Amino acid sequence: MASSARAPHIVGVGQSAYTRWGGIQDRSQFRITAEAIVAAARDAGLPVSAIDGLTSFSNDSNEGPVMQAALGIPDLRWSAMVWGGGGGGSCGAVSLACAAIESGQAEVVVAYRGLCQGQGRRYGRAAPTRTHGSFIAPFGLFAPPQMLAMMVQRFMHLYPITQDHLAEVALSFRANANRNPLAVMGDRTLTKEQYLASRWIAEPLRLYDCCLETDGAAAVIITTAERARDLAQQRVEVLASAHGSGAGWSTGPLGSQNMPDDTYASTNNRRLAKELFASAGLTPADIDVAQIYDHFSGMVLMALEDFGFCGPGESGDFVAEGNIRHDGGKLPLNTSGGQLSEAYVHGVNLIIEGVRQMRDTSTAQVADASTCLVTGGLGVAPTSAILLGRN
C-alpha cells in the first residue's frame, strides 16, 4: 500500500472526437492520440513536459518512445505496456501507472490508447494473423463477436439468461448515449422492437449486442495525491487497480478457446474482483456506479456476477429489475453509452466516464456517486479493473 502522499490519483482526462470507423481521415491515429494526451495535460493544469511516464496496452502502435519525442517530453521514467490483445489491458495501463506512482519510479504518468479502425483494420473482420490462428481461422472463427458469442451461448445454457436480458443491456446503454453529445450514437434512439428486428451477427449476439467500430483516442493522467492537491481539477483517487488472469486462459476466446471448463463462461475476473475490492476495503454493495467493458452485451451480464453484484446466474433478473438503468437503478452502468453506443476506444473512454462521475460532470450523472468500478476487456487474458473514489 502506498503512503497517502503517493496514493495515485487521476487528475486529467483528454479525448479526440469519436466517430464511426473511417470518420477520421484528415489526421493520423498517432496525431489524435498525441492531441488527446495534450488535452489531458491541459485538463489537469500540467505542462506536457511534466509527464514522465507513458503506458498503454493491446499492442498499441502509438509507441511510447515515439510519443515522447513527438511531445517533447524531456525525461521518460516509465514506459510500459500490458501484454495481450483486445481491451483486457485498458485498466491495466492505469494499474501500471499506479505501480510507477506508488513506487516513486515516476511522478506523472499518462495511460492512453488511440484506435482508428478506418486507418487500421475493422475489428469485425478477420485479422491477418492471430496467436493460435491455425486452430480457428480454417474453421471460420475470425472475429471477436463470433469468438465471444460461444462464451455467451454457454453462459445462457448454464443459467436463466435470455435475449430480453441482453436487450436490456443494449437499450440501457443507448438511452445513456442519447444524453451524451460526444457519443457516436448520441442522436440515434433504439427501441426494443428495433433490437429484436436487428440481424444476427453470431448467435446469440445480434447487431446491437456488439460494440461499435469507431475512430478515437483517449488519455488519462495519473499522479500522486500530493501533487494532485494543487492541480486544476477535483482529483479522483484510484482506490485499487489490478490486472491479471486465471490459470489456463492462454489467449482465451481470442485464441483457441481452451480456457478451463469451469471458468469458460466467465469474464476471467473472479479472483481479480475479490482482490480488487479487498485492496480498497470495499464490497460490491459500496459501489455507486460502474463502467463495465461492453464489447458484447452478454459479457456485461457475466461481469455483474463475477464482480459480485449478484450471484451466479442472477444477472438476468438483476437487469430485468431495472438495476442498471440511470433512472432509478441501484447500479447504473456505462453512463456515457459505453462501447455499445458511445465509442470503442478499447475501454479508455469508460475510464474517462468513471472520472466524470467522480467529478459530477457526467451527462448521466448519478447523484452523490462517490465510488465507481471500471473494468477492462472481459473474458480475455489478461483482464483488468480499477476502483475510483471521490476525494
Give the binding site for other proteins (CB under 8 A).
124-126, 132-143, 145-146, 149-151, 153-154, 157, 199-205, 248, 255-258, 260-261, 264-265
Of residues 112 and 264, the one with the C-beta less far from other proteins? 264
- Toward other proteins, which CB reaches closer, 100 or 202? 202
CB within 8 A of 188, min separation 6: which ones?
174, 177, 178
d(CA 197, CA 191): 10
Smallest distance from other proteins to CB 129, Å? 9
Closest CA to 186 of 324, 343, 291: 343
Exposed/middle/buried for 103, CB within 10 Å: 0-12, 13-18, 19+?
exposed
Please indicate whether residue 208 is annotated as part of the active site: no
Give 261: exposed, middle or buried? Use CB within 10 Å, 0-12, 13-18, 19+.
exposed
Task: Provide, rounded to whole angstroms, the least separation between the CB of residue 249 and other proteins.
Answer: 12
Backbone angles phi, psi at 387, to 5 degrees: -115, 125
Whether 159 is catalytic is no
Nearest approach, Cβ of 118 to other proteins (angstroms)?
Answer: 17
State the nearest-atom distance from the C-beta of 55 to other proteins, in Å. Answer: 29
Helices (H), the chain: 29-44, 64-71, 90-103, 144-158, 163-177, 192-197, 225-228, 270-280, 297-306, 315-320, 338-341, 348-359
